[in-house]
């Protein structure tokens, strides 16, 4: 599936590949420590946010998921 912004599609594919590899090779084997795809996710998230603004897509009232959801700045 393509991303909301054409410029973000390759970043989405890179993140999806990283996540799927981590999920299959680590998480399902009980190795859930670490966040090897976090930086890719952040780059993709910024790209999507920019595309949403450029396309004037209304997002008021929507909740977003991500690594920092529910965490404070000092949480680990």
Query: With the C-alpha atoms ordered 6, 7, 9, 12, is the resulting torsion angle positive or negative?
Result: negative
Assessment of whether the complete model's pTM goes beyond 0.85: no
Residue 71 resides in a domain: no
Q: Provide the number of structural domains found in the chain.
A: 1
What band does 26 get if pLDDT is binned at 50, 70 and 90?
A: very high
Within a domain: 68? no
Reported as a single tens digit per residue, the pLDDT across 16-25 is 999 999 999 9
List the domain range (segments joined by +) for residue 27: 4-53
> Mean pLDDT, to the nearest integer, of 56-61?
77
The per-residue pLDDT for 16 is 95
Res 59 pLDDT > 80: no
Q: Is residue 60 part of a domain?
A: no
Q: How confident is the model at residue 67 (pLDDT cuts 50, 70, 90)?
A: low
Q: Is residue 20 part of a domain?
A: yes
């Amino acid at each position: 599936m393509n991303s909301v912004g054409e410029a973000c599609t390759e970043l989405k594919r890179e993140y999806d590949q990283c996540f799927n590899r981590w999920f299959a090779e680590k998480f399902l084997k009980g190795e859930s420590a670490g966040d090897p795809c976090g930086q890719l996710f952040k780059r993709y998230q910024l790209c999507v946010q920019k595309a949403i603004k450029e396309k004037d897509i209304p997002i008021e009232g929507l909740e977003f998921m991500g690594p920092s959801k529910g965490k404070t700045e000092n949480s680990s």
